């Protein structure tokens, strides 16, 4: 049934169209997965990358070339993650010693890594609604629901009570453990 091939049977035509449909569905699935991955990265690391960008702009000035600003931004973001994993090491070390002071660095980590990014996500979800509808029940349910879900999701990534750290940040985590012992 192809206009270019009059010898194509109806079964061949349907099989070809079915294959095209599966290919399009696979492409859309791949694009959706990529977008979801991008949003995960933005939610988890975005606040630290933005903080690094802000610090580098203040340090170098706004007229500095983009390559230098982004390089310094990534360095600052890495140093901020080192501080977070240093605090995580302190949390784990103090918990191992049954010292109740572990709660203080744990709360700091939760605020910086989970609550603050989740609040930004809540604000973005609320921003989808028109200003006149932001006090409606659906807006409040969806925005606070996004806040709760994203805060638990981000906490699940960091796992502040679990003794683990990425290899690139393990040295700061180990230093936190050593300091707390």
pLDDT of 5 higher than 70: no
**Top mean-pLDDT range of 57-61, 88-92, 119-123:** 88-92
137 or 17, which is more confident: 137
Is the pLDDT score of 103 beyond 90? yes
Domains of the chain: which residue ranges? 13-180
**Mean pLDDT for the chain overall:** 87
The per-residue pLDDT for 42 is: 79
Confidence of residue 3 (pLDDT cuts 50, 70, 90): low
Alpha-carbon span 74 to 33, nearest angstrom: 25
Identify the residue whose tokens are 């638990």. Answer: 152
Compute the average pLDDT of residues 10-39.
82
Would you tell me how many other CB atoms lie within 10 Å of the CB of residue 52?
23
Angle CA(53)–CA(68)–CA(87) in degrees, nearest 5?
Answer: 45
pLDDT of 163 > 80? The answer is: yes
Mean pLDDT in residue range 152-180: 92
More reliable by pLDDT, 172 or 33: 172
The pLDDT tens digits of the residues spanning 105-125 come to 999 999 999 999 999 889 989
Going from the C-alpha of 27 to that of each of 11, 14, 34, 38, the distances in angstroms are 24, 20, 11, 16
Closest CA to 158 of 103, 81, 90, 102: 81
What is the per-residue pLDDT for 2? 47
Cα–Cα distance measured from residue 171 to residue 165, given in angstroms and rounded to the nearest whole number: 9
pLDDT of residue 4: 62
- Per-residue pLDDT tens over the stretch 67-86: 888 888 899 999 999 999 99
Count of CB atoms within 10 A of residue 91's CB? 25
């Amino acid at each position: 049934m192809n206009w270019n091939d009059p010898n194509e049977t109806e079964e061949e035509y349907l099989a070809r169209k079915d294959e095209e449909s599966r290919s399009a569905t696979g492409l859309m699935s791949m694009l959706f997965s990529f977008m979801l991955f991008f949003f995960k990265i933005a939610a988890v690391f975005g606040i630290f990358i933005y903080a690094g960008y802000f610090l580098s702009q203040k340090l170098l000035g706004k007229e500095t070339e983009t390559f230098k600003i982004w390089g310094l931004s990534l360095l600052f973001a890495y140093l901020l993650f080192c501080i977070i994993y240093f605090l995580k090491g302190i949390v784990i070390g103090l918990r191992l010693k049954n010292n109740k002071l572990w709660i203080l660095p744990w709360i700091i980590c939760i605020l910086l890594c989970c609550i603050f990014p989740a609040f930004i996500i809540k604000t973005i979800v609320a921003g989808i609604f028109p200003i006149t509808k932001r006090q409606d029940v659906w807006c409040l349910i969806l925005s606070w629901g996004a806040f709760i879900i994203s805060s638990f999701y981000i906490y699940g990534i960091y796992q502040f009570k679990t003794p683990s750290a990425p290899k690139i940040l393990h040295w700061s985590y180990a230093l936190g453990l050593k300091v707390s012992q």
